[in-house]
Structure 1
Amino acid sequence: MATAFADLQPDETTPQVTATVPTGAAPVPETAATPAKGKASPVAARIAGMAKALVAPLIGIAAFLALWAVLAPQVDTSLGALPGPVEVAEQGSALYDEWSAAREAKAEFYAQQDASNAAAIAAGNPAGVRDFEYAGPPTFLDQIFTSLKTVALGFVLATLVAVPIGLVCGLSPLVNAAINPLVQIMKPVSPLAWLPIVTMVISAMITSADPLLPKAFVISALVVMLCSLWPTLINTAVGASSIDKDLLNVGRVLRLGWFAKLTRLILPSSLPYIFTGMRLSLGVGWMVLIAAEMLAQNPGLGKFVWDEFQNGSSQSLARIMFAVVVIGFIGFALDRLMMFLQALASKNHTV
């Protein structure tokens, strides 16, 4: 919130004091760069505003961590006491060390393979050249990137399906009346119900031994698409139906074609609604993905959580809790990313 600072004016009822300057005294030079007393600079005011806005969140986070640290040792589980913030952070550092060690092992494997191939070629034995892929287990960071790629594919597919259908529903009451019952029926279906259907369909369609995309990757992405497209579809339909009818009449008067009408009138007016739906869809898709990976044992963060739960070691609970924190931070970052893209797309796109 911007704060306006008004120049203080002397009150008419306040007696004015007049200072007498001695004769021959040099007048004090006035400098325009000297700020008036009691008036803060804009930079200082902005810094003070940012600091004030950060105080409450920092206090809330500190209180949560303190409460967590106090109450966690009092909760006993089958794997021991509930880990506190320090134990969870230590396991996060351990997971990073495992990723670094795996990178070194992978680099060493390929270096040895390249040296072996070079020796085989030098000995005149081209049949001895090998091109094996490193088959080490995926690390925690590898699982993060796998989940991000999966949710990205599912989100893109959901957007490509939902936006055109939503635009048609918003512009045509007849189509909206025909599709609305299907949307209301399909929207509350759980991803756990979609998963076996999608698994059987994809397994029947992808029969190649070396498909372009891994079967588990496609299954998870399609489950994300089926569960996350509804917010985008509904919000797009609402945005398209909310366009000013006078604006559409102007388009008819100007004899704009359907593509010009779509790009110059409909989409700019519907853009805030579309991005709101996309933000909701991305959040839903991220939640759905973790559940789908956990149930179907597809690679990703969900599988990591389930594997640690099945492992049952003394460190598993702390690792699961660290994964939960990472999942939350990634969801928050994805939402901020969508807000940035919305601001970028809405800039200079007025009707």
Structure 2
Amino acid sequence: MATAFADLAKTETENTVTVKASEKPAAKSRSSQPAPAAYSSKLQEAVAKFGKGLIAPVLGIVAFLALWAALAPQVDTSLGALPGPVEVAEQGASLFGEWQASNEAKAEFYAAQEARIAAGTQAMAFDYAGPPTFLDQVITSLETVALGFVLATVFAVPIGLAAGLSPMFNAAINPLVQIMKPVSPLAWLPIVTMVISAMISSVDPILPKAFVISALVVMLCSLWPTLINTAVGTASIDKDLLNVGRVLKLGWFAKLTKLVLPSSLPYIFTGMRLSLGVGWMVLIAAEMLAQNPGLGKFVWDEFQNGSSQSLARIMFAVIVIGLIGFLLDRIMMGVEKFASRNRIA
């Protein structure tokens, strides 16, 4: 009897295991098929992300252009009605055409000069003396702001690190920073111009005098955001981290490169992004006032020209200035991500 009950129990257990085993693939196959609601939710998220990243900005730009085109003819100026988007775009194409024509004239000039030198009718070569085009002015402004930004970073980061690590040094320079920070570039410009004019007296200097003046004005006005953010980031480093450096008996250079700089890097790059934006704005004003080569001088020359096309050209230059500022900020963001790629949050 006991044997019979044992055989019966064993048979029922085997049947149960067999049924459960047969049910598992079905359950797995049902779970492997996402529900329609999950597909719909993912699709909605993708559409929302795409709309936020592309559709919304495009709609905003289109709405702005439509509003500009509708209101521009109703605004009268001393040079006629305010140009609309079409007129501004036409002047942009015209400026590009002038650049192409200038390049062709330059190529012809150098080709003719080489022919005269080869024939012996000309003794020495001369540089092309044609007026700079709009794209030439853009390149000049970019070179100037790059030099000023590099100089500002070279000065601001070490001073900011020292201020963040030493409360006494920070207290000593803080009044000077607060006084110098709000000074306008228009106030720095005559001082820098007189100093550089006295220092650069060579007929053929390595860098043009106007280029150096504009770059130094950019440096003096744009170094403060980097300096302040570097000092704040350095001062906010976890004290336990610094204590670990003391326990490990790290030297000052190892402490700086292994502990201080990696921890304060986000603050430094935030300051550098702000400094680059400030420097770009300062440069345009300095070029306009000092008549140094660049986009600022182009805007001022067109204002003084007073032709029927000047206003459209000025507005095109304003748009280009804004786009360049935006691209410079995106470039700095990319550099920050690259520099922080191995940083542990």
The answer, yes or no, to whether TM exceeds 0.5 is yes
Displacement, 1:350?
Answer: 3.3
Among 274, 279, 290, the residue aligned to 1:280: 274
1:246-257 aligned at under 5 Å gives the runs: 246-257=240-251
* Change beyond 3 A, Cα 1:159–1:52: closer
Alignment pair present for 1:72 and 2:66: no
Q: Matches of 1:66 and 1:277 in 2, distance apart?
A: 36
| Aligned match of 1:140 | 134
Q: How far has the Cα of 1:56 moved from its partner? A: 1.8
Counting matched residue pairs gives 317
User: Residue by residue, what CA displacement relative to the aligned partner does 1:269-293 show, whole Å, maximum 9, x if unpaired?
Assistant: 0000000000000000000000000
| Distance in 1, Cα, partners of 2:82 & 2:230 | 44
Distance 1:201 1:55, change over 3 A: same
Per the alignment, in what secondary structure is the counterpart of residue 256 of structure 1? coil
Match of 2:83 in 1: 83
Q: 1:290 aligns with which of 263, 284, 289?
A: 284
Q: Distance in 2 between matches of 1:49 and 1:227?
A: 39
Q: Does 1:208 align with 2:202?
A: yes
State the partner residue of 1:164. 158
Query: In structure 2, what is the Cα distance between the partners aligned to 1:233 and 1:140?
Result: 34
What is the letter of the counterpart of residue 83 of structure 1? P
Alignment partners' CA distance in 2, 1:335 and 1:198: 27
Distance 1:254 1:190 in 2: 47
The 5 A counterparts of 1:1-351 are 37-40=36-39, 46=46, 49-120=49-120, 128-350=122-344
Unaligned runs of 5+ in 1: 1-29
Equivalent residues of 1:163, 1:232 under 8 A apart:
yes
Tell me how large the CA RMSD over aligned residues is.
2.0
- Between 67-76 and 289-298, report the one with greater CA deviation: 67-76
Equivalent-residue separation in structure 1 for 2:43 and 2:142 (angstroms): 38
Query: What is the deviation of 1:211?
Result: 0.4
What residue ranges of structure 2 are gaps of 5+ in the alignment? 1-28
Give me the whole-angstrom Cα distance separating, in 1, the residues matched to 2:215 and 2:134.
Answer: 20
Q: SS at 2:91's partner residue?
A: helix
CA distance in 2, matches of 1:130, 1:46: 66
* TM-score, length-scaled by structure 1: 0.86
Query: Which runs of at least 4 in structure 1 moved beyond 4 Å after TM superposition?
Result: 30-39, 41-48
Partner of 2:20: none
Distance 1:163 1:220 in 2: 21
Change (3 A) 1:117 1:35: farther
> Residue type matched to 2:278 in 1?
V
Q: Please give the per-residue CA displacement for 1:256-315, whole angstroms capped at 9, x wherever unaligned.
A: 111100000000000000000000000000000000000000000000000000000000
Distance, in Å, in 1 between the alignment partners of 2:201 and 2:278 is: 30
Q: Secondary structure at the match of 1:207?
A: coil
Displacement after TM superposition at 1:47 (Å): 6.4
**How many angstroms apart in 2 are the aligned matches of 1:66 and 1:335?**
27
Distance 2:178 2:48 in 1: 48
Q: Which amino acid aligns with 2:145?
A: V
Describe the shift of the 1:44–1:99 C-alpha distance in structure 2 as closer, same or farther (beyond 3 A): farther
Alpha-carbon displacement from aligned partner over 1:38-74 (angstroms, at most 9, x marks no partner): 5449799646622343222122111111111111111
Higher helix share: 2
Determine the C-alpha separation between the residues in 1 that align with 2:128 and 2:90: 28
- Give percent identity, aligned residues only: 77
Contact 1:113–1:130 (8 Å) recurs in 2: no
2:3 paired residue number: none
The change in CA–CA distance for 1:43 and 1:149 in structure 2 (over 3 A counts) is farther
Give distance in 1, aligned partners of 2:263 and 2:150: 22
CA distance in 1, matches of 2:343, 2:288: 41
Q: Distance in 2 between matches of 1:53 and 1:338?
A: 20
The AA in structure 1 aligned to 2:229 is: N
- Give the match's secondary structure for 2:327: helix
Kindly tell me: are residues 175 and 31 of structure 1, through their superposed partners in 2, closer, same or farther at Cα, counting changes over 3 Å? Answer: same
Which whole-Å deviations, capped at 9, do the CAs of 1:223-274 have from their partners, x for residues lacking one? 0000000000000000000001110010011011111000000000000000
